[in-house]
Chain A
Amino acid sequence: MSRNRAPLSRSGRRPIRVAAGLSAAMMLLSACGGMSDSTSQAAAEAGKDCASKTKVRVVLQWVAQAQFAGYYAAKEKGFYDKACLDVTIQEGGVNIVPQQVLSAGNAEFAVSHVTKTMVTREQGADLVNIGQEFQRGAYLQVAWADSGIKTLADLKGKRVGSWGYGNELTLFAAMRGSGVDPKKDAKIIQQPFDMSLLLKREVDAAQAKTFNEYAQLLETTNPKTGKLYQPSDFVAINLQDAGYQTLEDGIYAKESWLAKKENQETAAKFLKATYEGWGYCRDELAGCVDIVLKNGSALGKGHQTWMLNEVNKLIWPAEKGVGMMDKAAWDQTIDIAMKAGVLKARPPAGAYRTDLTKRALEELKAEGFDVTGESYRPETVTVTAGGK
């Protein structure tokens, strides 16, 4: 039998055929890069003496930005390769919770906050802090200068923005400490990532991090003056200065994974190289920003420079050495979480360990690396319109 094809006008349709074929081919071939990551020349050079490399993955809390500069610098500058590590840096994203990725076994290391991770630990995951990079907190509560809000006590009866997801804990503890019950005395408003609620005056005070959202305000043009907003337009209440120091970005691993001797070895190497990365970012602000820009999607150079400078202030100087957990700060962070009822019980003594960081720091010291950064002085970064 014949094929079921109508014998109508077989000619005169060639252009369509060509166009269809061409466009299909183009889509298949387009942008062959972009799905895998490349190795820099420095990195390839540094790793040439390794017999084999250990593959590890670290998952970040959010998209690539200067907040995670140390990891990118360690990779790009070949510090991971020098330690015979093949590190994959996994960016975070919407609904990606690093400590859960870690407990699911999809990464060997995760960057996370103490409180969030200890909550996950309480739920049964065996997560351990092995290095506390940010030894200082970065929470601000920002209000308009003309709002009359000058201290935390002034938040009484106001609309207070908060990000939630654990970011409210430090704020609420600080408010309670100033006699403002966040549940009764103020209206808490869920705040998106950016600062538009405050700019539109839909909240009286908004949460901001010193290294990110606060700069976003200063990078915004004031429609009334046509110039950028000035620090004097705002009141930035520093929760740390008010005595509410909580620990943010640190490095976590699984207890069961660390039970193996060779994995402890790997973890110590990873910490050493990462701290070296942070050291590079401390000493070479511009070079480190360039590395971040290379790895991040359409980030503004001005904003990332500000961010790195502020992040450096959270890490350096590190009195006892970069990444060393300060017991007092840990205890305070846990106290705040306990009082808020977020944690049912205090985490056991093994919830953080300093031996791996100590080992990393000793090796770094022997190589002449400045592990405390005592002489570190932050730079003065000028904000740019739109953070460009």
Chain B
Amino acid sequence: MRPSRVSSVQRRRSGSFWAALLTLVLAMYLTILPIPGWPLDYRPPWVVLALIFWCFAAPDRVGVLLGFCIGLMMDVLTGTLLGQHALTLSVTAYLAIMLRARIRIFPLWQQTFFVWLILLVERLLTLWVVGATGQPMPPLTYWTPSLISLFLWPFMSLLLTPMERRVGPS
């Protein structure tokens, strides 16, 4: 009886990896999908949000390495410097994993605030790379996507608890 239980947990964990990958690919798709009439500045940072979500839900499967790989794909997808998204997304994954245990016991609004902080760090790092490599500086609306996520995260965290119960660490 015992072996089959262990294996099912194992299978569920590797299943969580594939689910995370699928979600992240979907997030990338949403990032480059042109939507007519959609204001460019208000597009939520789908990939960053999905990465934080999976770092919270399955920290032993999703982490810095996956963030790095997804970042490289984002760089090629959106034509930015190779390594720009890789840097920001691996740092995002790291912060999410480190803060996870502390944040999970907080009330929702505090949790949202910390997620917002992670998103701000991601924006700041991107801005730093953009500035250091002499690319044109973005306008102030550059920061709006992180504000949009403030409203998105509470809904995502509703999904987090059942997901964690399914795939999270025992």
The reply to whether chain A is a binding partner of chain B is no
Chain B positions within 8 Å of A, measured between CB atoms, are none
- Where the two chains meet, the residues of A that have a C-beta atom closer than 8 Å to any C-beta of B are none
